[in-house]
Amino acid sequence: MRILPEKLNIDFMGWRWLGFGVSGIIVLVSIILLPTRGLNFGIDFRGGILIEARSAQTLNMAEMRESLDKLEMGEIGLQQFGSENDVLIRVQEQPGGEKAQQLVIQKIRDNLGSNYEFRRVETVGPKVGGELKRAGSLAALMAIGAIGLYIWFRFEWQFGLAALIALAHDVISTVGIYAVTQIDFNLSTVAAVLTVAGYSINDTVVIFDRVREVRKKHRSLSTIDLLNRSVNETLSRTILTSTSTFVAVLALYLVGGEALRSFSIGVLWGIIAGTYSSVGLACPLLIYFRLQKPTEVIPPKGKAVAG
């Protein structure tokens, strides 16, 4: 299916320095924010109690906070989301093990009364949270490393290096979005980062495959013309794939509830960043990596090539 003219000829490579500048700023801001502003680690990594509740009537957050503070459970966080009836209650981990956590949950239930529907209740100890943080980080690094190895062997080193730089851009900027917005960074967020890595590299591979095809058919093309033609020929596919995926994830964000919100935010940004980096970063980098044309058979001196 084609939604753009067949002979499209947009000079994407002519805008490459703008693309490099935007990418550099995004990555730099993300790297600065991670140690300064930090990530808002969720219950999965930090430990504690998370309760998602829905009230039968409009919430009065001030009254709810005052009522729960009387229970003397330490730090309590309240966050309204979705409709005016939905609230997230976060309580710090209580001393006394699992029995103490269940006792606190029951106190909250009794305090709020029968007007509340408890839609989700999670408890995670700090030790388990630390283990999950290490396991999540290791899983992300292993997945990105495996993707890098695949690209390195699938293509020439120029393609592999450009794809890895674009992949690093997408992953760093996605994590940076969580630092900017302070949305909970939890296990579903790690899944979002891995989804972004897979989506981004898939889009890059499609364009790189076209670059190799065009390079074999049109050996006289300059590197810039070669890359422009390849991007233009795959642009319809890129727009259709990105748009359909974006709409599907947007539906998750709008109606999936708070449990899927942090995941959806990361993937939505990743679709934008991954599509942009494939065209505006990975391909232009090939210009500076001395991309070679396929070798041609040169006949011995004084002999003509049979044809």
Which CATH number fits the domain that encloses residue 204? 1.20.1640.10
What is the four-CA torsion angle of 75, 193, 34, 25, rounded to 10 degrees?
-140
pLDDT band at 298 (very low <50, low <70, confident <90, very high): very low
In a domain, 306, yes or no: no
Residue 303 lies in a domain: no
What pLDDT, in 10s, does the model give residues 184-206?
Answer: 887 788 888 888 888 888 888 88
- Cα(301)–Cα(138) distance, integer angstroms: 58
Q: 99 Cβ partners below 8 Å, 6+ apart?
A: none
Nearest to 26, CA basis, from 176, 199, 190: 176
Residue listed under structure tokens 């890595």: 197
- CA dist., res. 91 & res. 102, Å (int): 12
**Quick one: 112 and 213 in the same domain?**
no
Instruction: Mark whether 68 and 85 lie in a shared domain.
Output: yes
**298 lies in some domain:** no
Residues 233, 88 within the same domain: no
Please state, in angstroms and as integers, the Cα–Cα distance from residue 87 to each residue in 66, 90, 117, 173, 210, following that order: 15, 10, 11, 29, 49
Q: Looking at the predicted structure, is the pLDDT value of residue 166 above 80?
A: yes
Are residue 153 and residue 56 in the same domain, yes or no? no
Out of 38-52, 153-167, 226-240, which region has the weakest mean confidence (pLDDT)?
Answer: 38-52
Q: Which domain holds residue 156?
A: 13-40+129-288
CA dist 94 and 74 (Å) reads 8
179/274 same-domain check: yes
What is the CATH classification number for the domain harbouring 97?
3.30.70.3400
* Whether residue 188 sits in one domain with residue 86: no
Q: What is the tally of structural domains in the chain? A: 2
